[in-house]
Each structure stands twice: as structure tokens, then as C-alpha cells.
Amino acid sequence: MANKVIEIQDLTFSFNNVPVLSNISIDVERNDFWGIVGPNGGGKTTLLKLILGFLKPGSGLIKILETDPERARTQIGYVPQFGSMDKAFPITVQQVVEMGLTDSKNFFPWGQSKLRCKVNEVLESLKILPLRKKYFGELSGGQQQRVLIARALISDPEILLLDEPTSSIDSSVEGDFFTLLKSLCKEITILLVSHDVAFISSYVNKIACVNNSLVCHASNEITTPELISGLYKDSVTSIHHKCGL
């Protein structure tokens, strides 16, 4: 198996003629745990949507698992930004998680028992098995987040993309959550979008700063308080980059 899981070269994307991302290049290797940080509106979510093939790049190249994003996306587990879901939607935890294994030939309402075992397994591993028959809207923010992670993991994806996963979780659970991701990244490649650099830098092993352009760091480079406060106040490009990009 190739080591390069995601390969992006000179990628440019504009929305209504306003450049959102310019000249982005990044290589993500197998079992990397990337933190993608940057200010709001800097293009972090846009980058994820390009990787998923929901958006087409203006120019440049994106290869996911050595093929184009649309073909590769069934191998991706995706945890969308919190709050993008309709809370009142009538769907059970079981159904949400089953969705992670569905395909275009999934017809008729009746379920398959094979699927139920798999759902139980993944819910058990995330410690939310007792929630299986609950409705998604009844759960707390942290529980909903775990259900969405279960949906992303049930297909045994090669890549896990998470968009601001901790925004709905209170800080006591947040540590648990990252320990969970840390254990997962032994088997899969993780890209995590967050605005909370200080927190994620102790868990991830690489950091990409996205603010129209993209700059990479090893996570141990972002350790001093000055660097971190610099990231928050101004645009992320104001920090000193050692990696020569």
C-alpha cells in the first residue's frame, strides 16, 4: 500500500471569484494525525469539502488514496461540523450509525441482522451502546458527536475527517475524546479541523495552518505561548515557519 494517503498540489479554489484557497500543497501520509487550524473563513472547511469531492478545485491536483476524490470517498469517514444537523429529525441512533455502511443499492425499510451486529460493535467501542434505540435529537451534544463518530468509523475507513468536533463537547469530556482519536490514529489517518490550536497541538503530530494559503508544522514547533497567542490574534501566517514553506 502506498504511503501517501492524500496528495494535494498547487490547489486553488475560488468562490464567486473570491479566492478562498490559493496554491495549497500538502502530503498526508498513512497514520498521520493532522490538525488543521486557522481563523474562521480561512478555508478549513472548504479544504475538507475539496478532499471529499463536494467541491471541484479551480486548478491544481487532489489525489485521495491515489485516485480522484469522488471515487475515494466511500473510504472516508466524515464527522461534520456540529449544528449542521436538524435536531428535530426523526431518526434513531441505530439508523444514523447504519447510514455509515449504506450504499446506493440499499432498498426497502427492513434491516439486516449482520448490520445490527456491526452497529453494536462500534457503539460498544465508543461506550454508547445503551443509546442505540434513542432518538438522535434526544441526546446531549457530546453523545451526538460520538454517534456521528460511530457512523464515520463503522465502514472501517482509511481516512477520518473531523470538522470542529469539540465545539459541542464540554472540556471535561474533550480530553477523553482526544485520547480516543489518539488510539484510533494507530490504524487510520486523521485530519481534524479546529480553531483551538493550543489544545490539539498536544495530541496531533502535524499541524497545517490554513488562511487562504497553507503552511505545515510539526506539532512540537507550536509550543511557546507567544506562538500560540500569535495564532489567535492575527492571521496564522504571522508565525515563524521553520519548515521552509
Partner 1 sequence: MSEFNLNIFSYSFIQYALIAALLSGIAAGIIGTYVVVKRISYISGGIAHAVLGGLGAAYFWNVNPLYGALASAIAAALIIGLVKLKLKQNEDTVISALWAIGMSVGIIFANLTPGYNVDLISFLFGNILMITRDSLWLLVILDIVIVLTTLIFYKQFLYVSFDEEYSMIRGINVDFIYLLLLSLVALTVVILVQTVGLILVIALLTLPSAIAHMFSKSLFRIIIYSILLVTFFSVTGLLISIYLNIPSGASIILTCGIGYISAFSVTILRTKN
Name the burial class of residue 130, with classes exposed (0-12), middle (13-18) and buried (19+) by CB atoms within 10 angstroms of its CB: exposed
**CB 119 to partner 1: min, Å:** 14
Local structure of 51: helix, strand or coil = helix
For partner 1, the binding residue among 3, 9, 67, 74 (CB under 8 A) is 74
For partner 1, the binding residue among 3, 10, 41, 54 (CB under 8 A) is 54
**Residue closer to partner 1, measured from CB, 51 or 239:** 51
**CB 150 to partner 1: min, Å:** 12
Name the burial class of residue 25, with classes exposed (0-12), middle (13-18) and buried (19+) by CB atoms within 10 angstroms of its CB: middle
For partner 1, the binding residue among 12, 22, 31, 92 (CB under 8 A) is 92
Judged by CB under 8 A, which stretch of 4-12, 33-41, 79-87, 185-193 contacts partner 1? Answer: 79-87
Residue 75 to residue 69: CA distance in whole angstroms: 10
The answer to whether 168 contacts partner 1 (rule: CB under 8 A) is no
Find the angle CA(237)-CA(49)-CA(158) to the nearest 5 degrees.
Answer: 100
For partner 1, the binding residue among 10, 138, 170, 234 (CB under 8 A) is 138
Residue 21 to residue 50: CA distance in whole angstroms: 10
Residue 65 to residue 82: CA distance in whole angstroms: 27
**CB 75 to partner 1: min, Å:** 10
**CB 139 to partner 1: min, Å:** 12
The answer to whether 67 contacts partner 1 (rule: CB under 8 A) is no
Residue 1 to residue 139: CA distance in whole angstroms: 39
Question: Which positions touch partner 1 (CB under 8 A)?
Answer: 52, 54, 73-74, 76, 78, 80, 85-86, 88-92, 95-96, 99-104, 106-109, 135, 137-138, 151
